[in-house]
Structure 1
Amino acid sequence: MSAAKTAPTAAVPILFYGVPSGCSFGSLVALEWAGQPYRLARVEMPEQIHTTAFKSLNPVGETPVLVSAQGDVVTESMAILNHIGARAIERGIAFAQGTPQFDELNRMLAFLNTTFFGSFSSLWHVLEHEVDEASREALVEYGRGRVVQAHAKLEAMLGDKRWLLGDRPTLADAYFAGIARWTKYHSVVDRRDYPNLQRLFDQLEADPAVIFAHAIEQQRPAVSASGFQGEVALEEAIADYRLAA
């Protein structure tokens, strides 16, 4: 289905995704892989995340945010990804809680959410805030060390496996797809120095769900192979949530 602005419909989850290049990209990919109906609401960062309207959804003022089919608000990528995965276990992107596979997936998601994601934090601060030259150099050098270390650790964890957890993609790969692209904003690491990660990244970039997510972010024609039911304007989506609450 092609991307289009349409009115919200009850009982269809809405993902509020952040642009440019938000970590919500992983949740968007996961929704495509899950194959269930969903809609999207675009959130321009940082302007719209600080509004009173958006903070009525998430007081922290961050994306992603998922409003479930039941009207419940789910925030934080790990929680959203596990919410999606629990409803798509038969798709192989997640596993039943209490199994060793679930524990391994959560371990990988936790690493990506803390060590891998977190390694970019000082670099984003430099990019998004005015700092003096001495502070900038110190923060960039600190960030460079963290990003290099995080890449080296994940390179070893991936090894020669096709995907992060084995022979098929999971929620962890979806989340990696959104974060790994941040190297284009920060010239502190060359992914080609990590051939396993470069192989995984290239493989994901060729995946239809990832191609779709890029097109959505860039507002290009986007064709879903799954359950996408159109975009909802941010104000309309928030108003719809308030009416349903």
Structure 2
Amino acid sequence: MKLYFAPGACSLSPHIVLREAGVPVELERVDLAEGRIVSTGEAFRSVNPKGYVPALEVAPGDIVTEGAAIVQHIADSHPEAGLAPAAGTLERARVNEWLTFLSSELHKAFSPLFRPDNSEEVKAAAIERVASRLDHVESVLADGRSYLTGEQFTIADAYLFTLTNWTGPTGVGLGSRSKLIAYMDRVRQRPAVLAALEAEGLLQPAA
């Protein structure tokens, strides 16, 4: 498989899931500002006409786009990894519920903060929306669960971890959300997550 990614972008989620599933993956970095594949200079729209990451080449000429679709495909193709419950179960519906919330509410809420031409008023409103979504996650984690749906790490956790990492560069911060802070630390220590972060150059150098 070949994953088209940009460091720290939402493509980090399927990157983590691929490593959690033990799937060998070739990484192709995309310069989103230039819209080109770094290694070849080829226009990225020739791979994904929508122009954004992630895109996963599952076989020559077969490209899957949209992060939520990609992570579900990986999980369903490798059920032994336990990254998503079986389709048709209530447990799977809970994972899909989180994927939808993260995509339509949290991910979308962050979008204005990555547009430098937006006014401070627009950015302040976006920060408020992000904060309210993070407050919801904090309230769910307050029941003592280790991950979003219980004690099992799933594809939804890979997505939440990726999005919550954006609270640093956008200035949103995690504030006093102690459960979410502990959750992020717990996920960050997973070997597959560390491997993905290292591969994308996102690990802080040792002091």
Q: TM-score if structure 1 supplies the norm length?
A: 0.76
Match of 2:84 among 63, 79, 94: 94
Match of residue 144 from structure 1:
127
- Structure 1 residue 74: deviation in Å? 0.2
Residues paired across the two proteins, number? 199
Paired amino acid for 1:39: E
Q: CA deviation at 1:152?
A: 0.7
Native 8 Å contact 2:35 2:45 kept in 1: no
Gap runs ≥5 in structure 1: 1-12, 221-245
Q: Supply the RMSD in Å over aligned alpha carbons.
A: 1.9
State how 1:41-60 maps to structure 2 within 5 Å: 41-49=28-36, 53-60=43-50
Structure 2 residue aligned with 1:84? 74
2:9 is the counterpart of 1:26: no
> Which residue is 2:3 aligned to?
15
Paired residues of 2:112 and 2:126 also in contact (CA < 8 A): yes
Mapped to 1, the partners of 2:73 and 2:55 lie a distance apart of 12
Which one of 150, 154, 163 corresponds to residue 137 of structure 2? Answer: 154
Q: Tell me the residue number matched to 2:197.
A: 214
| Separation of aligned partners in 1, 2:6 and 2:71 | 15
Q: Which residue of 2 aligns with 1:183?
A: 167
Distance 1:30 1:56 in 2: 25
Q: Show CA shifts across 1:47-85 (max 9, x none).
A: 135986311111110000001036411000011011101
Give the TM-score of the pair, scaled to structure 2: 0.89
Q: Percent identity?
A: 32
**Is the Cα contact below 8 Å between 1:66 and 1:74 reproduced in 2?**
yes
Alpha-carbon distance in 2 for matches of 1:61, 1:93: 28
Deviations 1:211-238 (A, max 9, x none): 1111111188xxxxxxxxxxxxxxxxxx
Residues 196/219 of structure 1: CA separation in 2 closer, same or farther (3 Å cut):
closer
Shift of 1:192: 4.0
Offset of residue 150 of structure 1: 0.8
Q: Distance in 1 between matches of 2:138 and 2:26?
A: 34
Equivalent AA in structure 1 for residue 121 of structure 2: A
**1:38, distance to aligned residue in structure 2 (A):** 2.1
Counterparts of 1:16 and 1:52, CA distance in 2: 12
The one of 93, 115, 133 aligned to 1:125: 115
Counterpart residue number, 2:63: 73
1:172 matched to 2:156? The reply is yes
Write the distance in 2 (CA, Å) between the matches of 1:69 and 1:94. Answer: 22
Structure 1 position 157, deviation (Å): 2.3
Structure 2 distance, partners of 1:15, 1:105, is 23
Paired AA for residue 15 in structure 1: L
- How many angstroms apart in 2 are the aligned matches of 1:219 and 1:117? 20
Report if the CA contact (8 A) 1:122-1:142 is conserved: no
Amino acid at match of 1:101: E
SS in 1 for 2:186: helix
Residue ranges of structure 2 left out of the alignment (5+ in a row): none
